[in-house]
């Protein structure tokens, strides 16, 4: 490749690192361990050196920067896509939480929304949802994978296997703390747009309106309740999923995970995710009611929310809909997340303890 051509192409594309996206063909004796087919035909430069785009199935080294990057992108896609897709259900849920007298149940909330806002009312808040949950998903999944490896390294393979659930809990909690800081501003806009029809059309006018009336602090006034909702939710989500998937492969599947086809493994991911989602919905529902109330009521406190909703109401209002919504959401998230990992040449999540994965990556 000539110097002038190099100047037009980012350096990482022709780096000597074995994880580069573009790489020169090696002699056949050194390539026996990789059977990849280029996506486009090789092209030759003026000096006779050819290069080709690495195939999606080329193996990514476990716990390498490329591995964590793939997990981050997968998390961004799985959370952004799924949360945006269930925006209509989210609109109904939030309105039932905020105004239970007007939106008495799912049927009432659906009819009232249709009557007052039309079908367009069910898409309110989709843009802050897409941006907020994409950012949250990137940090949630990327940092979870990093934290799981980090804590396993600290305690060592023996204790990582013995206390694997604690590794899952600690890793997911650490990731969610950061992820919620990214989500909180968009969550504040989303709730206002969905529950106050005259407040704003969407993100473009809703975000400046909150900043103008309450300052940047107004975007983060729901952060502590959001942590209260999301941290237990995510701890339950990841720990339940990991253990459920491991149990399915041990007790239900007739063959080991490594011998199952990729579609079967993705089916296990969905089943484990749906089961985890049910537990997530129940444990985080009181805080979800609290977040909706505080973001909708200017100057309201936690005590105001408890007084208005009541303890029983905080635990039960909108819960059946949320169980269905979160179960489906979580199952779909794990399928998308693991599908992206499969496309990157990585194994699906779960089925083995952190220590087992760590040991196999070290021996490789």
Tell me the whole-structure pTM to 2 decimals. 0.73
Would you mind telling me the total number of residues written for the chain in this entry? 364
Nearest to 265 by CA among 328, 334, 357, 360: 334
Residue 262 pLDDT more than 60?
yes
Tokens of 113: 């929304």
**What percent of the chain stands above pLDDT 90?**
45
> What pLDDT digit, counting tens, does each position of 42-100 carry?
444 444 443 333 344 457 888 999 999 999 999 999 999 999 998 998 888 888 877 87
Q: At what angle do helices 203-214 and 126-162 cross, to 10 degrees?
A: 80
CA gap 37, 58 in Å, rounded: 9
Beta bridge partners of 52: 23
Query: What are the DSSP calls for 26-82, one per residue?
Result: PPGGG-TT-----SS--EE-TTS-EEEEPPTTSPPPTTSHHHHHHHHHHHHHHHHHH
The pLDDT of residue 357? 56
Measured in degrees and rounded to the nearest 5, phi and psi for residue 47 equal -95, 10
Q: Is the dihedral of CA 140, 142, 143, 144 positive or negative?
A: positive
Beta bridge partners of 53: 22
User: Residue written as tokens 């269905």?
Assistant: 324
CA gap 57, 342 in Å, rounded: 8
> What pLDDT digit, counting tens, does each position of 317-356 carry?
778 888 888 899 999 999 999 999 999 999 999 876 555 5
**pLDDT grade, residue 40 (50/70/90)?**
very low
Nearest to 345 by CA among 262, 270, 251: 262
Residue 154 pLDDT more than 90?
yes
**pLDDT grade, residue 137 (50/70/90)?**
very high
Helices (H), strands (E): how many in the chain? 13, 3
List of domains in the chain: 65-349 (1.50.40.10)
CB 235 within 8 A of CB 300: no
């Amino acid at each position: 490749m000539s110097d002038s051509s190099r100047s037009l192409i980012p350096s990482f594309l022709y780096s000597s690192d074995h994880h580069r996206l573009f790489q020169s063909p090696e002699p056949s004796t050194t390539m026996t361990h990789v059977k990849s087919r280029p996506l486009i035909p090789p092209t030759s430069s003026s000096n006779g050196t050819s290069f080709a785009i690495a195939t999606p199935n080329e193996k990514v080294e476990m716990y390498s920067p490329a591995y964590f990057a793939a997990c981050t992108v997968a998390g961004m896609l799985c959370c952004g896509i799924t949360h945006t897709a269930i925006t209509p259900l989210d609109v109904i849920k939030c309105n039932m939480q905020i105004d239970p007298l007007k939106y008495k149940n799912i049927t009432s909330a659906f009819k009232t929304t249709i009557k007052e806002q039309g079908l367009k009312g069910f898409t309110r808040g989709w843009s802050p949802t897409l941006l907020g949950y994409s950012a949250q998903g990137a940090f949630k999944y990327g940092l979870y994978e990093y934290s799981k490896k980090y804590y396993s390294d600290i305690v060592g393979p023996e204790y990582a296997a013995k206390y694997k659930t604690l590794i899952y809990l600690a890793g997911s909690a650490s990731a969610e703390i950061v992820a919620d800081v990214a989500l909180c501003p968009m969550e504040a806009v989303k709730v206002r747009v969905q529950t106050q029809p005259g407040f704003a059309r969407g993100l473009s006018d809703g975000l400046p309106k909150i900043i103008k009336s309450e300052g940047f602090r107004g975007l983060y006034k729901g952060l502590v309740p959001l942590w209260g909702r999301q941290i237990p939710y995510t701890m339950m989500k990841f720990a339940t999923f990991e253990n459920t998937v491991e149990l399915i492969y041990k007790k239900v599947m007739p063959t080991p995970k490594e011998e199952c086809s990729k579609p079967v493994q993705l089916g296990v991911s969905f089943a484990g995710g749906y089961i985890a989602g049910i537990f997530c919905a129940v444990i985080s529902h009181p805080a979800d009611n609290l977040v909706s109330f505080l973001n909708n009521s200017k100057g309201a406190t936690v005590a105001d929310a408890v007084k208005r909703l009541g303890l029983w109401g905080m635990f039960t209002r909108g819960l059946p809909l949320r169980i269905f919504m979160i179960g489906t959401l979580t199952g779909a998230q794990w399928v998308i997340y693991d599908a992206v990992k499969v496309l990157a040449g990585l194994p699906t999540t779960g089925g083995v303890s952190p220590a087992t994965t760590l040991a196999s990556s070290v021996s490789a």
